[in-house]
Amino acid sequence: MNWLAIAVAVTFGLATSQATAAQIEFRGGLCLTDTNAVCIAEGWNTGCFSTMRYSPRNEGDNGPRTRLSFFNTFFGENYTSESVDLIGTTFVPVDGTNIGRGGGTFTAQMKITKQIPSPAKLTEASNFVSIIGQIHDFDGIPGCNVGFKASGVKN
């Protein structure tokens, strides 16, 4: 028996054929489809568009958290639910982080009312996702409520 060959195989992971899951992320665009007067006063209008990154919960090794981030030239934001499913009709508290003319954290409420493919049909092999949702206290602004649509391709 060649002990050196076995030691090398184990050291470099050649002795096992263990599949490694990866984080599943979709990148694309997000558009605000509905804004209220509070948002408009802060410069958030219907039609505002950003690039986005969406990591759905329980896909690959994403774990139980859902992450939605979007980016423009001068700012970025992230909304994260650590363990509660955002898909449904109920608003869920999310942790927000933003950076622009300053940076900070805030709490908002969010729900994803539609996802295509549906969560039951979304798999690691899915190449595209589209979501529709709402965020209350958007950008950490109390009373700023928005609707959005986003679509992305698997990164």
End-to-end CA, the chain = 44
Whether residue 14 is predicted with pLDDT greater than 80 in this model: the reply is no
Residue 135 sits at φ, ψ, to 5 deg, of -130, 125
**What is the domain class of 24-154 according to CATH?**
mainly beta
pLDDT at 4 over 90: no
pTM here?
A: 0.82
Look at residue 20 in the predicted model and tell me its pLDDT.
Answer: 52
How open is the CA angle 4-7-9, to the nearest 5 degrees?
110
Please report which residue ranges of the chain form alpha helices under DSSP H.
3-11, 37-41
Strand partners, 115: 131
pLDDT digit string (tens) for 15-54? 443 445 687 899 999 999 999 999 999 999 999 999 999 9
pLDDT tens digit sequence for 40-93: 999 999 999 999 999 887 777 777 788 999 998 888 999 999 988 899 999 999
Count of beta carbons in the 10 Å neighbourhood of residue 109: 16
| Euclidean distance between CA atoms 59 and 44, whole angstroms | 31
pLDDT of residue 22: 80
Cis bond upstream, residue 64 (ω within 30): no
Q: What are phi and psi of 120, to 5 degrees?
A: -70, -25
Pairwise CA distance, residues 45 & 31, whole Å: 10
**135-150: pLDDT as tens digits:** 999 999 999 999 999 9
Other CB atoms within 10 Å distance of the CB of residue 121:
9
- Residue type for position 115: Q
pLDDT given for residue 9 in this prediction: 39
pLDDT at res. 21: 63
Which of 57-61, 102-106, 118-122 has the least mean pLDDT? Answer: 57-61
Determine the Cα–Cα distance for residues 117 and 86; give it in Å rounded to an integer. 15
Q: Write down the pLDDT at residue 90.
A: 94
Residue 146: predicted pLDDT: 97
